[in-house]
Chain A
Amino acid sequence: MANKEELFKELSDAIISCKKDNVLAAVEKAKDELDPSEIIENGLAVGMNQVGILFERGKLFLPHVMMAADAMNAGVESLKELMPEGEGDSKMGIIVNGTVEGDVHDIGKSIVSTMLQSAGFEVYDIGRDVPIRNFIEKAKEVGANMIGLSALMTTTLPGQKEVIELLKEEGMRDSIKVMIGGAPATTAWAEKIGADCYAENASEAVAKAKELLL
């Protein structure tokens, strides 16, 4: 019989392999020895975290991250019948993410959405060149805990400030965290416009979202 640590490692390694079959087999093996919540938190989620690190280090690529996320979803799904009702559906937080109006850059923002989604957040990527008001509307619609704002140009950076101002006007600022990112954004800019955090890259975005929402 494998000990707990070995099972956690097998689960984590299965996620890093990015193969659904491996994950399902590891979950099946661990089911009798571990609680579903332990399998997810100490095994699968640890593997996903490692996948994020390997992505930032250029060792794993976006399709691998997606395959790993897909495999993790399948693993969690296979545990649902063993979990108390509703537990498997709980998300770590709801995030609306997009690139501000006037800015057509999409790739970095999409990667951040993907990594947040892979880490277990419920993510609504509302695209690029998004009118300021749409961030607010979407946040209301889905009950978001956080809004992510990307801008890749110095000319569109002020859009991040405008969303924060609109959140204040709508009386929503206290209940929604704001994370900003994009090449010209900095910690100093985040402080200046009153954002809750600035993230340098996708894995930092995941870490900071966890810090703020968990």
Chain B
Amino acid sequence: MAKEYTLRMGDGKRIFLTKERILEEIEAGTADAADLGAIAALSGDQMDKLAEILMMPGKTVSVEQGMEVPVTHDIGTLRLDGDQGNSGVGIPSSRLVGCMMHERAFGADTMELGHIDYSFKPVKPVVANECQAMEVCQQNMIVPMFYGAMPNMGLYYTPDGPFENPGDLMKAFKIQEAWDSMEHAAEHLTRDTVWVMQKLMACGTDGVNFDTIGAAGDGDFYGTLNAIEALRKTYPNMYIEAGMAGECVLGMHGELKYDGKTLAGLWPHEQAPLVEKAGANVFGPVCNTNTSKTSAWNLARSVTFMKAAVEAANIPCHVDMGMGVGGIPMLETPPIDAVTRASKAMVEIAGVDGI
């Protein structure tokens, strides 16, 4: 009987596959990405290398010495102090303590401060509190320290915001009204984001990390690109990281353009030039994990998309590799064997500049 290797499903469940089957899964995964994005599939050598990484016997694997890359962080300190029943481990600690633990206990290359709600809009009424926390962090820390939040344009629609829900309008075939609503929401998103970051820049933040751009579709991406452009114009030295929500920009509006390019339906390699044009320093491309597929399929697909994004960008690409993205299983406690294999593959095959 052929030797079987321990891999994972996209939901984290352990599975056993032969080398032949692993290679089949890799081939199918890379072909799927190549087909969707109209990009190059992995070469034979790259597929072999990926299979080799997946079949390594150790529980954890790592990049070859000298190939290390900066690892940046999102969700602020919520993974430490968060106790909402999610992936936070509920350690009662201040945000300063959380940030310093990332720097000094975990060896993080950069860190960020984030609000418990982690969206720009709810930061507005408590921005002074955020500024104060940022000042204290900057006084005590050495690694680059960002302010991070999600654009989360959904918060501008009823019942959370002033504009009618475009999803409801669409279902009632009120297309023009839905378009108007999204365009107004995008304007507000840009305005709020710029306002919040002006305050934080005055208090010494190194910059901003936009997390999950496009979660509310192309309007969300549009509003954020305009915010990046406005911030870059005002602050030439600000650090701006633009991390996406999903692999393909969801076409809620369908007609919005940036730099003459329709935003809906863009894949990571097509998003990168626009993020760069807007003025970001670092792009965070995403590839979603399919929970019904194997880690070999998911990782091959993800590496294929990320490799194309890295090649299309002139700025560094820090691939998003959290729960359920970048070939990482969709599980709050992602198996370390899967995380480290995905990490190694992204650096050594996709050639990412950071994670």
Contacts and interface: CB of A to CB of B under 8 A. Distances in A.
B259 to A, nearest CB: 18
A208 to B, nearest CB: 12
B45 interface: no
B252 interface: yes
Nearest to B157: A106
A174 B165 CA distance: 34
Contacts of A34: none
B263 to A, nearest CB: 10
A188 B13 CA distance: 9
A153 B216 contact: no
Nearest to B179: A63
B324 interface: yes
Interface in B170-185: 170-171, 173, 175, 178-179
B249 interface: yes
Contacts, number: 99
A186 B291 contact: yes
A105 B154 contact: yes
B267 interface: yes
A187 B292 contact: yes
Nearest to B167: A110
Point out which of A58, A59, A105, A198 has the most chain B C-beta atoms below 10 A from its C-beta: A58
A188 B170 contact: no
Contacts of B290: 200
B87 interface: yes
9 contacts: A63-B170, A66-B170, A66-B171, A106-B157, A106-B167, A110-B165, A125-B171, A155-B86, A183-B330
A102 to B, nearest CB: 10
Q: Enumerate the 7 nearest inter-chain pairs by beta-carbon distance, A residue then B residue, closest first.
A: A61-B251, A110-B167, A61-B254, A58-B265, A186-B11, A155-B85, A186-B291
Given A111-B167, A114-B167, A186-B11, 18 more contacts: A58-B248, A58-B265, A61-B265, A62-B170, A62-B251, A63-B170, A63-B178, A63-B251, A64-B251, A106-B154, A107-B154, A107-B252, A113-B167, A113-B171, A125-B171, A153-B86, A155-B85, A198-B292
A61 B264 contact: yes
A130 interface: no
Interface residues of A, number: 33
B170 A114 contact: yes
Q: Chain B interface mostly helix, strand, loop or mixed?
A: loop
B248 A117 contact: no
B11 A66 contact: no
Given A106-B167, A110-B168, A66 B175 contact: yes
B252 A187 contact: no
Interface string A60-88: 11111011001000000000000000000
Contacts of B330: 183-184, 186
Given A62-B254, A64-B254, A200-B292, A188 B11 contact: yes
Interface of A: 55, 57-64, 66-67, 70, 104-107, 110-111, 113-114, 117, 125, 153-155, 183-184, 186-189, 198, 200
Contacts of A155: 84-86
A55 B248 CA distance: 11
A114 B173 CA distance: 10
Contact of A63 (B11, B157, B253): B253
Interface in B82-112: 84-87
B332 interface: yes
Contacts of A198: 292
Contacts of B251: 55, 58, 60-64
Interface string B226-263: 00000000000000000000001111111100000000
Contact of B265 (A59, A107, A188, A189): A59
B335 to A, nearest CB: 14
Contacts of A153: 86
